[in-house]
Structure 1
């Protein structure tokens, strides 16, 4: 199978794109370390993988806590003695006008800082010594354009794009590939669940997608898995828009 004998970490794997990605990597042979702030959600993903016949372990905790990231990586190394793939997926969105936005530190810490913390920890403990590895950062097309009333999200996702390119340039000499998937509007709890986009705004967003629909978590997971695989062995520093053509039509502001 595609990821036989590979060990992967997926942050934010308790639901949405992260959960589907963790299950896909496991279905294709990887041993997956499942991280989520919600321990019950991490356990549910772990149980799903095991029931599917895959291999996994749970590392629940705050992905935005650097000490925890270091400890979790050390635990995975203790158990499996290698980490081949890191998927930085943990993220949140807070909607508010810029002049009233108060969640700056929280949003940037979860969406951006966590990706650096986990990348650094995995690189130092596993990938640099092994002279190989694949890191896939999950950003958003909001990392390449702008969304009104989501300044923290937009800035953090732009940061992820910059982080991806910077690490790809710096760590290429160690055999580490670093790429980024920028999902467009995708059917997850973040968009369609409680606290997600209101129906009118959701319809307006979908209307701006040339393919005429939302993407699915499975479609995002397939893109992530491809970038993590040997099929993408010469791809590094790539920012992949998986958005149904939205940015090709609207390259500036996504209402």
Structure 2
């Protein structure tokens, strides 16, 4: 359970703001939705699983926040446009967009068959939501903050994850392109590149094998995985007015991993 807004001195950081978070049913997206709500935002929670989206909304509301569930496939362009229209109808504004949804399919490149699904989910979705939000809510008022979630796999290759690597590299390019194009509209576009983070993708039932996880953590200079809440803090900073002159930034939140070497070797 997240703490009540009234007891949190940071609860005014996003007061009066409306935020949309894709892929917010779990992991980093869920943590970001909770943090933005705790800091005063009304949060529209997207997830392909309606039960998970509703659960996050219920937890936010139970803690005194306001939220709206947007159940649907973030990689569906028509759904993205409809969801943005729903938020605008309900609240009349969208100040923050967090493009978080993402999937990974592990297979050697020569056997990889999930290209379209991975690239559409990880990359196309971010463009669809950015475009819809910018046109409906941000360009008309001349302001807004978009935070894309990539990965250190957007900056260095990871074996056996070609779809993930290519799509996350694309997110880096998307971030820079939109920051350049939409700066004239007062829209800031930035990107967080998480390193290994404790979510279902790493520590869950279908996550990494224990030996591989231990080896990955051993290559992090800080000596541990990050928590989803730590990634959420980076996202919230970039979305906030504290970063009012920050745009086009590709922020590593990886415990120093890429400073140590060029990438994940196994």
* TM-score, scaled relative to structure 2: 0.95
Contact 1:179 1:239 survives alignment (8 Å): yes
In structure 2, the residue matched to 1:26 is 37
Match runs of 1:142-181 below 5 Å: 142-181=153-192
- Cα distance in 2, alignment partners of residues 110 and 186 from structure 1: 19
RMSD: 0.6
Equivalent residue pairs, number: 255
1:152-178 per-position Cα deviation (integer Å, ceiling 9, x unaligned): 000000000000000000000000000
Task: Indicate whether 1:61 and 2:72 are aligned.
Answer: yes
Contact 1:16 1:189 survives alignment (8 Å): yes
In structure 2, the residue matched to 1:188 is 199
Which of 221, 234, 250 is the matching residue for 2:232?
A: 221
Which of 27, 37, 59 is the matching residue for 1:16?
A: 27
In structure 1, the residue matched to 2:93 is 82
Task: Indicate whether 1:124 and 2:132 are aligned.
Answer: no
In structure 2, the residue matched to 1:104 is 115
Contact 1:182 1:240 survives alignment (8 Å): yes
Contact 1:143 1:158 survives alignment (8 Å): yes
1:173-215 per-position Cα deviation (integer Å, ceiling 9, x unaligned): 0000000000000000011112111111111100000000000
Q: Secondary structure of the residue that 1:29 maps to in structure 2?
A: coil
Which of 103, 107, 132 is the matching residue for 1:92?
A: 103
- Cα distance in 2, alignment partners of residues 198 and 15 from structure 1: 20
Structure 1 segments unaligned to the other structure (5+ residues): none
